[in-house]
Amino acid sequence: MKLFKSTYPALWFGKKREIEILNICRVHLETIVSTIAATRDLVYAVCDGNFDKACEIFKLVFDREREADDVKERILDELSKGPFHPIDREEIIHLVLTADDLAANAKSAGRKLCLSKAEDMPECVKEQLKKMADMVYEIGVKLRDAFIILIEDPKKAIDAAEAVERLEEAIDEHRVDLLIKILE
């Protein structure tokens, strides 16, 4: 038995609200990718011995991570307003908090790199750090793209998620190899 017509205003407003929140989530992911991109630039600057540039870039990383936090807070605020299915709300909150960890970790990595002495690093470690920075940027872009695909074409989202998973595994392997080189 159908209780409501498909044009029922509450359903229409609910769908409209969901789309608005998902678009804010897209902005959040764009800001996170921007933070990761700046961190990648910082890694390159540190590894190339350009410490003045690295300090400038860290300020940019810091500001972009703060922007990501502001967007996250906006999403959480929007989710607390009006009717929204609890399961949907929980899933979006989980996505936003997990994604926000990417920006926080990028900022943390940048801060640690600014404290390091790149002149004491072997060249192979510097090159591997750059490669790691490129891989992390790539996974950030793939994650953002997977989210967009999920919104626009959910059937293709599985393939996009699998690509993210494969890259995550490659990053984990690279990280272990890098740690071995650092500890040698």
* pLDDT at 16 exceeding the cut of 90: no
For residue 46, give both structure tokens: 């540190």
Phi and psi angles of residue 85, each rounded to the nearest 5 degrees, phi first = -60, 130
Domain ranges of the chain: 11-183
pLDDT at res. 146: 93
* Dihedral over Cα of 89, 92, 97, 98: its sign: positive
Q: Which of the two residues, 62 and 84, has the higher pLDDT score?
A: 62
* pLDDT at 4 exceeding the cut of 70: no
State which CATH number among 3.30.1330.40, 1.20.58.220, 3.30.200.100, 3.30.1360.120 fits the domain covering 11-183. 1.20.58.220
Q: Which residue bears the tokens 């293709």?
A: 156
Which residues, 6 or more positions from 39, have their beta carbon under 8 angstroms from its beta carbon?
61, 106, 107, 109, 110, 133, 136
For residue 54, give both structure tokens: 């690295």
For residue 123, give both structure tokens: 């060249």
pTM: 0.87
pLDDT at res. 7: 52
pLDDT at res. 85: 73
